[in-house]
Chains A and B, each alone.
Chain A
Amino acid sequence: MTTPENVPPVLIIPLRAGEQQDMEAPGKPDSARQLVLALVFGIAFGFLLQKGGVARYEVLMGQFFLTDFTVIKVMLTAIIVGMLGIFSLRALGLVELHVKPTHYAANIVGGLLFGVGLGLLGYCPGTGVAALGQGNCDAIAGIIGLMAGSYLYAETSGYVASTIQKIGSRGEITLPELLGIRLSIFLAAFVPALVLALFALARLAP
């Protein structure tokens, strides 16, 4: 129990330059400072998911029955705030993007499969561990299933990479790049559209 006492002062030191190098080396293990930071971020994330009610089976299923829109409200708000924040920080040169590669077929088929699993389990990978933390023990079966399903995917990953992942593989492409619009112009239209959608949702499903 001596280490946690020593940690907080270390966290406050920004260490920007060294940090970037730290992260650029892909094979390099994460530093102890980063592992502790991740734990703190995880605690914050789990705390927020529970406070938002999205660690509850009833709230997630309510979203899929279209009777409770808490999940979409939380997600859409997070997307808007995060989008404004990340692109502002990036404009200041403080962060870099980590855009996931797009593979149309895998995104669609995997997304639909994910949805089927979500409807059956009633938790997603993140809200599942949050559900466990608040005492929903059925999430344990879901977590074991998630690990088994991930391993099963690994068994097929060589095949998937040479087949379905090749269909509609577009690399790390973003919406403005796809549409051939400048980022600033895209954001100037897209962010207000998302805010409007959120206001409409707040009105229709208070």
Chain B
Amino acid sequence: MQSASGAWSPYLVGTLIGLLSMATFYFSNKPLSVSTAYARLAGMVGNLFSRRHTGNLKSYQDTPPKIEWGVMLVVGMPLGAWLAAVTGGEITGVWVPALWEQHFGPDVAPRLGVALVGGMILGYGARLAGGCTSGHGISGALQLSVGSWIALPCFFVGAVATAYLLYRF
């Protein structure tokens, strides 16, 4: 087994994410969280179709669809990842990941279909659970939030079972 699957040690990266988390609390009074930004962006798309309908939905009254701190965080993330991949010579530029291709073949459509459906379930689940791997898994867990310590094992149980079933076929 490899000691590190990334260019940097997972312990170094984890430490730096912990420090980054302290920085967001100190400088912005906000925890690192990602999934709410998707909901806000989806609401902005919804506003293009029907502003009245979107505005009447309960969760958009609580988290209005607009560009704010969390959305800017998510806008920065692909830029940072691109920068890291470029400096490390790790730009992939693929539509089908290698592991998927080994098992299911090189066709793009099945991968995109599963990714789309997976993304929908992921998005719905994140909103219902109240956060994602960042919001619950890191920020909530480090603040000792009870709900986060419940959601986090559930994330893993669901993912382990699904990955096992998916790759059985």
Contacts and interface: CB of A to CB of B under 8 A. Distances in A.
Interface of A: 19-20, 23, 29-30, 34-59, 61-68, 70, 73-86, 89, 94-104, 106-122, 124-139, 141-155, 157-158, 160-161, 164, 170, 172-178, 186, 190, 198, 202, 205-206
Interface in B32-53: 32, 34-35, 38-39, 41-43, 45-46
Contacts of B57: 154-155, 157-158
A117 B26 contact: no
B90 A134 contact: yes
Contacts, number: 554
B18 to A, nearest CB: 3
A74 B14 contact: yes
Contacts of A119: 118, 158-163, 165-166
The main secondary structure of chain B at its interface with chain A is helix
Given A138-B111, A150-B124, A125 B69 contact: no
A89 B14 contact: no
A43 B120 contact: no
B155 A111 contact: yes
A86 B140 CA distance: 11
B81 to A, nearest CB: 3
Contacts of B113: 141
Given A61-B99, A78-B17, 18 more contacts: A38-B76, A45-B76, A52-B10, A53-B6, A64-B164, A82-B17, A103-B130, A113-B121, A116-B162, A119-B159, A125-B38, A135-B82, A137-B93, A146-B119, A151-B42, A153-B127, A154-B46, A174-B144
